[in-house]
Amino acid sequence: MKLVKGASELQSATFAAGCFWGVEETFRVSKGVKETAVGYMGGHTANPSYAQVCTGTSGHAEAVQVKFDPSLISYDELLTIFWKCHNPMSLNRQGPDVGTQYRSVIFFHTPDQEKSARRAKGQLEKRGIYPQPVVTEIVPTAHFYPAEEYHQQYLKKRGINSCH
């Protein structure tokens, strides 16, 4: 992608919030998001396949990497989307999907992202919006392994907006 002169440089954000198909679509259609990719992050297996991740033994979460224009959407706005698109109280489960690969994680790329994520999580907990603790992990970005091509923009390719 070629940036227009004077345009902001794209920044990266990475989130895990259950099945990556719906999470990717939620971010993909957000104003200011320029690119999305689904993949695997946070585990110990190099170059995992979807089948390996589904066993729960790779340690990876299904993740969405977002490239965004901070002049059009802030990281805090991305965090708001993240909190709204899944259940952050649910440990290793989102809807019918169960396993550690469906855990809730914010993978921060910078110290500022870490501060924003921790502040946002703290504010959610303080407001008492949720009847149970927020179990979302906030950890440094690890190696992102892109998922197989058929997973990329899965819902868009099928003309649907959400999984559930």
pLDDT at 2: 46
13, with CB counted inside 10 A (0-12, 13-18, 19+), is buried
Specify the pTM. 0.92
* Domains in the chain with CATH codes: 11-158 (3.30.1060.10)
The number of beta carbons lying within 10 Å of the beta carbon of residue 105 is 22
Q: Cα(128)–Cα(153) distance, rounded to whole angstroms?
A: 34
Phi-psi sector, 124: left (phi>0), alpha (psi -120 to 50), beta? alpha
pLDDT single digits (tens) 137-149 = 999 999 999 999 9
Q: Please list the pLDDT of the chain residue by residue as tens digits (164 residues).
A: 444 455 579 999 999 999 999 999 999 999 999 999 999 999 999 999 999 999 999 999 999 999 999 999 999 999 999 999 999 999 999 988 999 999 999 999 999 999 999 999 999 999 988 889 999 999 999 999 999 999 898 788 888 877 75
What φ, ψ does residue 39 adopt, rounded to 5°?
-175, -160
Q: Cα(71)–Cα(73) distance, rounded to whole angstroms?
A: 6
Residues tagged active-site: 19
